[in-house]
Structure 1
Amino acid sequence: MSIENYVGRRVEVIYLNSKGRLNRRVVSVLTVTKKSVYVFDWGKQAYRTLSLQLVLAIMPDASAS
Protein backbone atom coordinates (compact mmCIF):
# COMPACT_ATOMS: atom_id res chain seq x y z
CA MET A 1 0.00 0.00 0.00
CA SER A 2 1.27 3.46 -0.86
CA ILE A 3 2.07 5.92 1.92
CA GLU A 4 -0.42 8.40 0.41
CA ASN A 5 -3.20 6.01 1.48
CA TYR A 6 -2.24 6.59 5.12
CA VAL A 7 -2.74 10.38 5.21
CA GLY A 8 -4.76 11.20 8.32
CA ARG A 9 -3.98 7.85 9.93
CA ARG A 10 -1.75 6.73 12.78
CA VAL A 11 0.86 4.26 11.51
CA GLU A 12 4.16 2.67 12.37
CA VAL A 13 7.08 3.47 10.05
CA ILE A 14 10.53 1.98 9.74
CA TYR A 15 13.05 4.31 8.14
CA LEU A 16 16.74 5.15 7.91
CA ASN A 17 17.66 8.25 9.88
CA SER A 18 20.22 10.83 8.77
CA LYS A 19 23.01 8.72 10.34
CA GLY A 20 21.98 5.60 8.42
CA ARG A 21 20.45 3.85 11.43
CA LEU A 22 17.11 2.07 11.38
CA ASN A 23 14.34 3.74 13.37
CA ARG A 24 10.82 2.64 14.16
CA ARG A 25 8.27 5.31 15.05
CA VAL A 26 4.54 5.65 15.58
CA VAL A 27 3.42 8.68 13.61
CA SER A 28 0.36 10.31 12.13
CA VAL A 29 0.82 11.01 8.43
CA LEU A 30 -0.15 14.61 7.68
CA THR A 31 0.98 15.30 4.10
CA VAL A 32 3.00 13.57 1.39
CA THR A 33 4.97 15.22 -1.40
CA LYS A 34 7.09 13.72 -4.17
CA LYS A 35 10.15 13.63 -1.90
CA SER A 36 8.99 13.75 1.71
CA VAL A 37 6.31 12.91 4.22
CA TYR A 38 5.29 15.32 7.00
CA VAL A 39 4.23 13.53 10.18
CA PHE A 40 3.46 13.99 13.84
CA ASP A 41 5.78 11.69 15.82
CA TRP A 42 3.86 10.42 18.87
CA GLY A 43 7.00 9.26 20.70
CA LYS A 44 8.83 12.57 20.33
CA GLN A 45 5.62 14.64 20.55
CA ALA A 46 6.90 16.69 17.61
CA TYR A 47 6.30 17.32 13.92
CA ARG A 48 8.91 15.78 11.64
CA THR A 49 9.69 15.58 7.95
CA LEU A 50 10.93 12.23 6.64
CA SER A 51 12.53 11.67 3.26
CA LEU A 52 10.31 9.30 1.28
CA GLN A 53 13.27 7.41 -0.15
CA LEU A 54 14.39 6.54 3.41
CA VAL A 55 11.01 5.14 4.49
CA LEU A 56 11.45 1.36 4.29
CA ALA A 57 8.10 0.13 5.64
CA ILE A 58 4.75 1.47 6.79
CA MET A 59 1.93 -0.38 8.52
CA PRO A 60 -1.19 0.49 10.53
CA ASP A 61 -0.41 1.10 14.20
CA ALA A 62 -1.63 -1.96 16.12
CA SER A 63 -1.96 0.00 19.37
CA ALA A 64 -4.41 2.46 17.77
CA SER A 65 -7.16 -0.20 17.51
Structure 2
Amino acid sequence: MRNFIGEVIELIYIDRKGKITQRKIRLQGIRHNLIRATCLNTNQPRVFRMDNVLSWEPAKGAGKDAS
Protein backbone atom coordinates (compact mmCIF):
# COMPACT_ATOMS: atom_id res chain seq x y z
CA MET A 1 0.00 0.00 0.00
CA ARG A 2 2.93 2.35 0.66
CA ASN A 3 3.65 2.41 -3.09
CA PHE A 4 0.28 4.15 -3.61
CA ILE A 5 0.86 7.24 -1.44
CA GLY A 6 -0.62 10.23 -3.28
CA GLU A 7 -2.92 8.01 -5.31
CA VAL A 8 -6.58 7.02 -5.04
CA ILE A 9 -7.44 3.61 -3.68
CA GLU A 10 -10.66 1.86 -2.71
CA LEU A 11 -10.84 0.05 0.57
CA ILE A 12 -13.27 -2.05 2.53
CA TYR A 13 -12.99 -1.23 6.20
CA ILE A 14 -14.52 -2.10 9.58
CA ASP A 15 -15.10 1.07 11.61
CA ARG A 16 -14.89 1.26 15.41
CA LYS A 17 -18.60 0.43 15.71
CA GLY A 18 -18.15 -2.74 13.66
CA LYS A 19 -19.83 -1.37 10.52
CA ILE A 20 -18.29 -2.44 7.22
CA THR A 21 -17.89 0.39 4.70
CA GLN A 22 -16.36 0.79 1.28
CA ARG A 23 -14.56 4.05 0.63
CA LYS A 24 -12.52 5.71 -2.06
CA ILE A 25 -9.60 7.57 -0.50
CA ARG A 26 -6.55 9.55 -1.56
CA LEU A 27 -3.72 8.01 0.43
CA GLN A 28 -1.64 10.71 2.19
CA GLY A 29 0.69 8.59 4.28
CA ILE A 30 1.18 5.56 6.49
CA ARG A 31 2.81 5.69 9.89
CA HIS A 32 2.95 2.82 12.33
CA ASN A 33 -0.50 1.19 12.04
CA LEU A 34 -2.35 4.30 10.81
CA ILE A 35 -3.33 5.36 7.31
CA ARG A 36 -3.79 9.10 6.76
CA ALA A 37 -6.04 9.88 3.83
CA THR A 38 -8.68 12.14 2.37
CA CYS A 39 -12.00 10.34 2.05
CA LEU A 40 -13.32 11.17 -1.41
CA ASN A 41 -16.86 10.21 -0.34
CA THR A 42 -16.95 13.09 2.17
CA ASN A 43 -13.92 15.15 1.06
CA GLN A 44 -12.73 15.08 4.68
CA PRO A 45 -9.42 13.97 6.22
CA ARG A 46 -9.59 10.53 7.81
CA VAL A 47 -7.34 8.14 9.70
CA PHE A 48 -7.82 4.40 9.25
CA ARG A 49 -6.27 1.60 11.30
CA MET A 50 -4.45 -0.82 9.01
CA ASP A 51 -5.63 -3.82 11.01
CA ASN A 52 -9.26 -2.84 10.26
CA VAL A 53 -8.76 -2.81 6.47
CA LEU A 54 -10.35 -5.95 5.05
CA SER A 55 -9.42 -5.33 1.42
CA TRP A 56 -7.99 -2.61 -0.81
CA GLU A 57 -7.06 -2.00 -4.42
CA PRO A 58 -6.02 0.92 -6.63
CA ALA A 59 -9.14 2.75 -7.78
CA LYS A 60 -10.04 1.93 -11.35
CA GLY A 61 -9.44 4.83 -13.71
CA ALA A 62 -7.89 6.93 -10.95
CA GLY A 63 -4.35 8.15 -10.65
CA LYS A 64 -2.50 10.96 -8.97
CA ASP A 65 -4.50 13.55 -10.89
CA ALA A 66 -7.94 11.96 -10.38
CA SER A 67 -10.33 13.03 -7.64
How does the TM-score come out when normalised to structure 1? 0.88
- Deviations for 1:1-48, whole angstroms, at most 9, x for unmatched residues? xx2121111010111011111110000000101110000001111000
Give the distance between the partners of 1:20 and 1:50, measured in 2 at CA.
13
| Percent of pairs with identical residues | 21
Cα distance in 1 between the residues matched to 2:61 and 2:42: 17
1:50 aligns with 2:60: no
TM-score (norm 2): 0.86
Q: Which runs of 4+ in 1 moved over 3 A?
A: none
| Bigger proportion of residues as helix | 1
Q: Which runs of structure 2 are paired with 1:1-65 in the superposition (5 Å)? A: 3-64=1-62
Structure 1 stretches of 5 or more lacking a match? none
- Cα distance between partner residues in 2 of 1:25 and 1:36: 16
| Contact 2:9–2:59, Cα closer than 8 Å, also in 1 | yes
What is the deviation of 1:63?
4.2
Quote the RMSD (CA, aligned, Å): 1.2
Q: How many residues align?
A: 63
